[in-house]
Structure 1
Amino acid sequence: MALLSWNEIRARAIKFSKEWEGETSESAEAKSFWDSFFNVFGISRRRVATFEKSVKKAGGEQGFVDLLWKGVLLVEHKSKGKDLEKAYNQAKDYFPGLKESELPRYILVSDFENFVLYDLDEDGERRFKLNQFPQNIELFGFIAGYQKQEIREQNPVNIHAAEKMGELHDKLKIVGYAGHDLEVFLVRLLFCLFADDTGIFEKNLFRDYIEEETREDGHDLGFYLAGLFETLNTPVENRAKNIDENLNKFPYVNGSLFAERLGIATFDFEMRELLLESAALDWGLISPAVFGSLFQSVMDVEQRRTLGAHYTSEENILKVIKPLFLDDLWDEFEKIKNIKTRREEKLNEFHEKLASLRFLDPACGCGNFLIISYRELRLLELEVIREILRGQMTLNIDLWVKVDVDQFYGIEIDEFASQIAQVALWLIDHQMNMKVSNEFGEYFVRLPLRKKPHIIHGNALLLDWDSVVPKKELNYILGNPPFVGSSLMTKEQKEDLKQVTKVIPKAGSLDFVTGWYIKSSDYIRGTKIKVGLVSTNSVVQGEQAIVIWRYLMYQKDVEIHFAHQTFQWNNEAKGKAAVFCVIIGFSSMGGLPKTLFSYPNIKGEPTSKSVDMINQYLLEAPTIFIDVRRKPLSDVPPMIYGTKPVDGGQFIFTEEEKEDFIQKEPLSEKYLRPWIGSHEMVNGYQRYCLYLADCPPQELRKMPYVRERIEAVRRMRSESKKPATQKWAYYPTRFIEDRTMDGDILIVPSHTSENRKFIPVGYFEHGTIASNAVFQVIDPDKYIFGILNSSMHMAWTRTVCGRLKGDYRYSNTLVYNNFIFPEPTEKQKSDIGKKAQKILDVRSKYTDSTLADLYDPLVTPPDLLKAHQELDKFVEKTYGKTFKTDEERVAFLFEKYKEKKYRQELNSSNRKS
């Protein structure tokens, strides 16, 4: 039986309220009253609820629930004029005696004349009288099948349902029902469970079929389900004449969901109970957008431990689809609403446009992006229909709803996820149909399923996307392709990416996600297709930003038209490293309006502004590709890597190890020198290295413990698999890359936390050896120290450096050598040196604090912060300008970089000529 329309329900409610007007006796008429109440919504009370269920109350005594619909509704009925507050408390007293799956979401109390409905999930209550019932029927959408649906990402119902399905999955797998058949089987069960609570099937039809038709031991359940699936795939007129009456109540579904013949699943008592427990949940509350990912995660026991963490949040999806298409469509609709001439014609044209749009997610997973996009498109269509009809009654609402699931395309490498995506789109379609039914009072359902989403199971990097959807028909590409760094890819992923990137020079360091950028740029060239992709922020940092975007912008004519700068992806499991993402919207159309979203707080909400340009670093600045340089572009001392010993740890000592070694080998003391790497420098502890480059042979022969270590280094190098290392086995007293500097050195760590406002740069005395985890430069007058500690240099670093996770990965060839130092007068240079010295003086006051302590943004001493601010003023004065933001600083430096590089190239050209 189909759902009743709201118009029909309202008419029945009016009749019900008149029929029961003046009734007073609880004992005489309560059961008939509630049978009639359920009939208002076209539901047989016997199908869903029982009277007088025996339950142990909170105090232990026996009680009887007036009416219980397990897991949904508990009714407590009183005679007219009785205290309904007392009735509510009595209803709550039954809860300790109910199973978890029986606990209701709603409590309804009544005395014939008055009603109070309590929503225990939302902690709300609504009161009305019998004669007001027709105006309050929407409160009971959960009875009628018009379930109010909100996307609640952490809704316990989503997680509980996924856990139940996960248990069933495991048990089926244990008994040998696995692989493709198991995946399709579970997806079909998902559809049936959802259909049971949302009006696709009669209320509880699937649950009752299992409960009433199959044996308790479960042994015949697999056969009955196979028969059900066959029935759902058969039009009613083509079914056998003597088909079981209960089986024939199921509608014809079609849509290919039940077309494939599967092996028969085997069940036992426990597995049957699991399925019935799943059916007892209210699947009308479950969000297809969230549940799909949860459902997929049940396949993995490890992932199941963090259910609720592995979904793409609606908030993040909207960050993509709103600037990609949704905002523009709403703006267009608002303009059409306000025109005076040809208004209805324009509304109809706009409606046709909505029905013509085509969307592709080429890494769709369980379909989250497609589901939310479809829902938002349907919500907009609903507003359009409202405007067209303007209060007119319609008896053919199906003629007005034109947006459908066949407008959506997806590619997914995981077969199970691709099946979930297809079903989830049908489910969200049904939820939107219920919303339309609620709006216009006419029941609207698309059954049998005549159209289906185009979800392709395949490898998006190897597929021709034009074979999935011709580019001339597509409007938008969207999604979040896999986040896999270049060093973490599997062998297969590397090979797949290589097929896409082979046309790009220096593509070896590209992350896996860049394959989707390249495929998109190839596909959209010469079209009006717009793309919006989520990816880790590595695609706009370091050398990767140069390699990928030089190809996209120069070879494929890509232009960025909206972007979200780095923000923290907020849906990772607890205990996992944070993921820092960007969203980039692009096309091959020039001149589109541009919007840039920035995050004052990386975990907070963005601010947006219209800009004239967005470059590959997602800044309002010119598009300039900064290449690796071997020498500084400015007239400054060179910065080089530190020393790389390749000694197997034989020449490196802690403070305690050094003292012990000197006790055994006193002559070694003068060859043990301070050793500084990033970790030692920032965290303030000392290590030493045995530096033997200037130790004469006759002295080495007097130090047996030193000779032992030399022999260990020789052996380690000779056993190396690298030929270059093997050669150095002949020189075991030397470091393989010795870059020891003769003088005081300024050291910059190669890696540092992105939380710090400044990279903790430091000075070290002559004799200190810098490790290969830092960079070093000679800076006798503190000028370089001052510039590197300035906000100008830090803004540049944040933009062009690479990242390791979220942390800065400093580079001499990319960051330092390309940075445009100011051209100061001698006095300005001296002033900067003095302000730099002030920073060092303030640091020295905090003798017990490490650089990590001093530059922790939460505890940086005020006088140190002030010293940096004073330095900034002098540095910016040297550039001849003051800046309010880092974006202004970077835009200025880009312009200076372009000018400087152009002058150098011009001078070089003139010299050659």
Structure 2
Amino acid sequence: MTALSPAERLIAAKTFAKTWKGRGNEKSDTQQFWLELLRDVIGMEDTTINVIFEAKTSERGYIDVWIPDAKAFIEQKSIDVSLDKADIRQGKTVTAFQQALNYANTMQFSQRPRYIITCNFDEFRVHDLDKENAEINYLSFTLEELPNQLHLLDFLVDPQKNRAVREEKVSMVAGKLVGKLYDALRSQYLEPDTDESQHSLNVLCVRLVFCLFAEDAGLFNKNAFYDYLNGLRHDQVRTALIELFQVLNTPVEQRDPYLSDQLKAFPYVNGGLFAKDEQIPHFTAEILDLLLHDVSEKTNWSEISPTIFGGVFESTLNPETRAKGGMHYTSPENIHKVIDPLFLDALKDELTQILEEPGVSANKRKKNLEAFHNKIAGLTFFDPACGSGNFLTETYIHLRKLENKILSELAGDQTQLGFSDVTLKVSLNQFHGIEINDFAVSVASTALWIAQLQANLEAEEIVTTNIESLPLHDAANIHHGNALRIDWNEVIAPEKCNYIIGNPPFLGYSRLTDEQKEDRKAIFGKDGGLLDYVACWHKKAADFMEGTQCEAALVSTNSICQGQQVAPLWQTLFDAGIKINFAHRTFVWSNEATDQAHVFCIIVGFSYVDRELKQAWTYSRAGVEYSEPTHLNGYLADAPDVFLTRRSKPISSVPEMAQGFKPADGGNLLLSPSERDELIAREPAAEKWIRKFSMGAEFINGRDRYCLWLPEITGAELKALPLVRKHVDDCREWRLAQTKTGDAFKLADRPHILRPNGKFLDGPYIGIPKVSSERRKWVPFGFVRDGMIPGDMLYFIPSDSLFVFGVMMSQFQNAWMRVVAGRLKSDYRYGNTTVYNNFVFPEVDKAGRVDVEKRAQAVLDARELYAGATLADMYDPDNDFLYPELMKAHRELDKAVERAYGVDFDGDEQKIVSHLFGLYDKLRW
């Protein structure tokens, strides 16, 4: 749902106030009134699961509207009822506010509201319970005033974000405190660097975190863990923890009858969390104080986000990630880019349809809800690179949100129909994972348990019965091992798996260890040499899903859908019958809270199920664009399934593009401006043999660089230039010192020249930087007419054709490049054999050619208007307003090139790319 603009909200509020003026019945209109207000006016997303109506309370009453994320209760009255009127409820005479407050006071502390809204369809009163005398100190406005006072209800939407912000903050603080505790405890182990001590320390921290959460969430008696340790001497803590962990692992009926009353009060936990005896070191007074007063007393562990905290906890305590600094976690926002289009959006829509289907009897509606309840309880989820379990945890949380909505509706229906049994069905047993790090396996299991326990607390308020959260009865199936070596069938049978999700390791093919290369070889054989590590999970998922309805969505490096990696991965999968159903095109994957590393990723949803609705999200500086393509190919383009190969010649009748000269000189044939000036000052005759030289960066940024250009120098001429000869001799010496199989060594007998390039003509050419910022709409190409020698980071087309230049500078060619080029981090990495040689130029008549040439010259003329500005300056999207004539010339050139192709796409890049793939598909044979 797109956020409403202020103007749209104002119009919607006026319409709403007019529609509801003078009417409203508490029994029949409350749901419609608040759904319309929250969804259509305020702009709340996911009202289906975020808003609960008629939630039962232990006071034998009902909360008319409950918005858990906003910590808000709404007590609704009919339009003819005064909000100050006192009625008899459960034997007490109470106003609307007092009635809601009584309900609030029966709830678990973590579920209690901060806000109570009372409303009678004409007047709204907002009570903030954090303020003194909240009953009389309230904000009030009428329905007629709603358009101008709408901001007073914004807290109903913003706290969805604020709750996430609060949970993130608590989780980060908790993670830092555990990290501090971890360091202190580690120093107490006799041999802290051994695997055994490391494992024991990790398990100890996991157990302490669980106890801290259980205490704050009410699973233990209030302050039970704190009180158990408080007052002990530091030298007694080790023994006390050993005894406590044994008690937590022992069923009540099997415990020592002579246990102290303190220990007897702790429940049986089960689940294997406390099952094994692990090393526990001695505590110091400082460590005990840290645990009791900072980690326990100053942190409300019931408010942590298990999704975030699991990642923070694992990266804080895992030596492999801890050494890198910072605390890492995958944001819930990014997780939802995977799970929403894969399954969650469809489930929400299905539930909404059940709840809003008109003309359905209460009994039929109940059956539909129960069937949907059974459906979500029967789904299974598998993350074959689960890490700390954040994808599984976030999925579980939202399945429980769906379940809680079902429970609230069934509770109301069953009251009307005479039923009373409402059962939890969503289980941790539905979740499966593989993780190579044994500590992360423990963290993932614990994060899921915490998520379960939090969800149970909220469910208790809906079913109004105590849910026995302890002992733990189920657990996620997290397996320790290498996912690329494990048979996934041993984790979960393919026919029983509904969805594969996750974020496999981000490792480019050039960074793999020998072991990881062997992993890849086991999946792809010898053809995997150019593939990033993450491609292994895509191939293994495709093999696993074959013959089933299972669907997958994985995060990956964007390179597997660009350049040379597309064919070896996706052609294999497409030939097997795989379809791409949705995709998030390249975006920044923000997966850290501190020391954030920007990784440029994609998300691909794929399966053997060919969804009728395809979805794609495209990210740019302007924002996110959603589209529904007819097809998605291996480049994530709405185009046929073609695979570009490295082509030695252009597919169109145009001049060839070649890579510039690789110096291979050890820096001896290249000169900085100061080195050039010094050489000419000392040896004036050398000036004849010096040329400008440019790599791509110098070309774009207008920086001077030079080289000794000596292919035609004679022996006598070189002998007369001893300083130049010194450069040549130094180059020879350097080349002789290089690996004998390398290019540089092979050029040792020609130390006066750069690496030869037979395609270079000493004349005008079009320069194309090999690497350029992804921020630019147009990669800045340009003519070179001053004899500058191109380096190997600068491609060149030996031509002065304005037509070729115009098409190359157009949005058509840039859109093609953005899809098929490789990337260096996020930057475009141009390739002559992959990008240029596969690019189909338009076939035009003389008039069309002249049109493009005229617009291309206008671009060159416009550049001349801005003396002193470099190509980098002029093509910086943050400053393009400073070059209006150039931007205008480019827009006209883009239109001319569209005319040359015989289309009118008005700059729609997806249509442009689709058209170019279609042209390529016709010519490639």
> Shorter chain as normaliser: what TM range?
0.7 to 0.9
**Residue 729 of structure 1 aligns to a residue in which SS?**
coil
Matches within 5 A, 1:805-884: 805-860=825-880, 861-884=883-906
What letter corresponds to residue 483 of structure 1 in structure 2? F
Matches within 5 A, 1:709-728: 709-724=727-742, 725-728=744-747
TM-score, normalisation: structure 1: 0.81
**Residue 191 of structure 1 aligns to a residue in which SS?**
helix
**Residue 628 of structure 2 aligns to a residue in which SS?**
strand
Worse-superposed segment, 181-190 or 826-835: 826-835
| Structure-1 residue corresponding to 2:383 | 361
Q: CA deviation at 1:600?
A: 4.8
Of residues 804, 807, 810, the one that matches 1:790 is 810
| Structure-2 residue corresponding to 1:386 | 408
**Residue 611 of structure 1 aligns to a residue in which SS?**
coil
What letter corresponds to residue 635 of structure 1 in structure 2? S
| Structure-2 residue corresponding to 1:279 | 296
Q: CA deviation at 1:340?
A: 3.3
Q: CA deviation at 1:403?
A: 0.7
| Structure-1 residue corresponding to 2:613 | 593
Q: CA deviation at 1:391?
A: 4.6
Q: Deviations over 1:770-815 (max 9, x none)?
A: 1111111122231111110111111111111111111110111011
CA contact (8 A) 1:692 1:734 kept: yes
What letter corresponds to residue 854 of structure 1 in structure 2? M
Worse-superposed segment, 339-348 or 235-244: 339-348
Worse-superposed segment, 439-448 or 237-246: 439-448
Q: CA deviation at 1:39?
A: 15
| Structure-2 residue corresponding to 1:518 | 539
Matches within 5 A, 1:608-757: 608-724=626-742, 725-739=744-758, 740-757=760-777
**Residue 375 of structure 2 aligns to a residue in which SS?**
helix
| Structure-1 residue corresponding to 2:212 | 193
Q: Deviations over 1:120-177 (max 9, x none)?
A: 7xxx6772389xxxxxxxxxxxxxxxxx994337643222221221111111111215
Return 5+ residue gaps in structure 1 as ranges. 22-36, 49-71, 73-104, 108-115, 131-147, 903-913
Greater gyration radius: 1
| Structure-2 residue corresponding to 1:7 | 58
Worse-superposed segment, 396-405 or 740-749: 396-405
Q: Deviations over 1:742-788 (max 9, x none)?
A: 21111100000111111111111253211111111122231111110
Q: Deviations over 1:580-637 (max 9, x none)?
A: 22211111123543222233547x4x34333321111222222211111000010001
Of residues 545, 548, 573, the one that matches 2:566 is 545
Quote the Cα distance in structure 1 between the aligned partners of 2:517 and 2:323: 30
Q: CA deviation at 1:681?
A: 0.8
Matches within 5 A, 1:202-217: 202-212=221-231, 214-215=232-233
1:813–1:149 CA distance, 2 compared to 1 (3 A) = closer
Number of residue pairs the alignment of both structures matches = 788
CA contact (8 A) 1:673 1:691 kept: yes
Quote the Cα distance in structure 2 between the aligned partners of 1:633 and 1:127: 75
Worse-superposed segment, 227-236 or 696-705: 696-705
CA contact (8 A) 1:163 1:304 kept: no
Q: Aligned pair 1:128/2:135, yes or no?
A: yes
Q: CA deviation at 1:298?
A: 2.0
Worse-superposed segment, 325-334 or 666-675: 325-334
1:17–1:876 CA distance, 2 compared to 1 (3 A) = closer
CA contact (8 A) 1:741 1:769 kept: no
| Structure-1 residue corresponding to 2:201 | 182
1:153–1:294 CA distance, 2 compared to 1 (3 A) = farther
| Structure-2 residue corresponding to 1:135 | none
Q: CA deviation at 1:118?
A: 6.9
| Structure-1 residue corresponding to 2:394 | 372
| Structure-2 residue corresponding to 1:152 | 165
Q: CA deviation at 1:396?
A: 11
Of residues 561, 580, 591, the one that matches 1:560 is 580
**Residue 181 of structure 1 aligns to a residue in which SS?**
helix
What letter corresponds to residue 891 of structure 1 in structure 2? S
Q: CA deviation at 1:311?
A: 1.5
Worse-superposed segment, 667-676 or 387-396: 387-396
Worse-superposed segment, 487-496 or 742-751: 487-496
**Residue 730 of structure 1 aligns to a residue in which SS?**
coil
Quote the Cα distance in structure 1 between the aligned partners of 2:426 and 2:506: 32
Quote the Cα distance in structure 1 between the aligned partners of 2:709 and 2:420: 86
Quote the Cα distance in structure 2 between the aligned partners of 1:307 and 1:384: 43
Q: Aligned pair 1:268/2:284, yes or no?
A: yes
| Structure-2 residue corresponding to 1:239 | 255
Q: CA deviation at 1:737?
A: 2.8
Quote the Cα distance in structure 2 between the aligned partners of 1:344 and 1:330: 17
Quote the Cα distance in structure 1 between the aligned partners of 2:614 and 2:705: 52
What letter corresponds to residue 875 of structure 1 in structure 2? V
Q: Deviations over 1:212-266 (max 9, x none)?
A: 4x22xx1110111111110011111111111111101101111111111112321
CA contact (8 A) 2:638 2:913 kept: no
Of residues 755, 773, 795, the one that matches 1:775 is 795
Of residues 475, 481, 502, the one that matches 2:498 is 475
1:399–1:17 CA distance, 2 compared to 1 (3 A) = closer
Q: CA deviation at 1:351?
A: 1.8
Quote the Cα distance in structure 1 between the aligned partners of 2:308 and 2:611: 37
1:320–1:406 CA distance, 2 compared to 1 (3 A) = same
What letter corresponds to residue 569 of structure 1 in structure 2? W
Quote the Cα distance in structure 2 between the aligned partners of 1:153 and 1:295: 17
1:502–1:570 CA distance, 2 compared to 1 (3 A) = same
Quote the Cα distance in structure 2 between the aligned partners of 1:296 and 1:16: 50
Q: Aligned pair 1:886/2:909, yes or no?
A: yes
| Structure-1 residue corresponding to 2:448 | 425
Give percent identity, aligned residues only: 40
Quote the Cα distance in structure 2 between the aligned partners of 1:490 and 1:715: 33
Of residues 444, 448, 463, the one that matches 2:486 is 463
1:441–1:38 CA distance, 2 compared to 1 (3 A) = closer
Worse-superposed segment, 857-866 or 376-385: 376-385
Q: Deviations over 1:336-366 (max 9, x none)?
A: 4427374433332222222111101111111
**Residue 924 of structure 2 aligns to a residue in which SS?**
helix
**Residue 601 of structure 2 aligns to a residue in which SS?**
strand
TM-score, normalisation: structure 2: 0.80
Quote the Cα distance in structure 2 between the aligned partners of 1:42 and 1:558: 49
Worse-superposed segment, 628-637 or 412-421: 412-421
**Residue 560 of structure 1 aligns to a residue in which SS?**
strand
What letter corresponds to residue 819 of structure 2 in structure 1? T
1:835–1:441 CA distance, 2 compared to 1 (3 A) = same
Matches within 5 A, 1:163-178: 163-176=176-189, 178=197
Of residues 495, 511, 515, the one that matches 1:492 is 515
| Structure-2 residue corresponding to 1:141 | none
1:607–1:875 CA distance, 2 compared to 1 (3 A) = closer
Q: Aligned pair 1:223/2:223, yes or no?
A: no
Q: CA deviation at 1:306?
A: 10
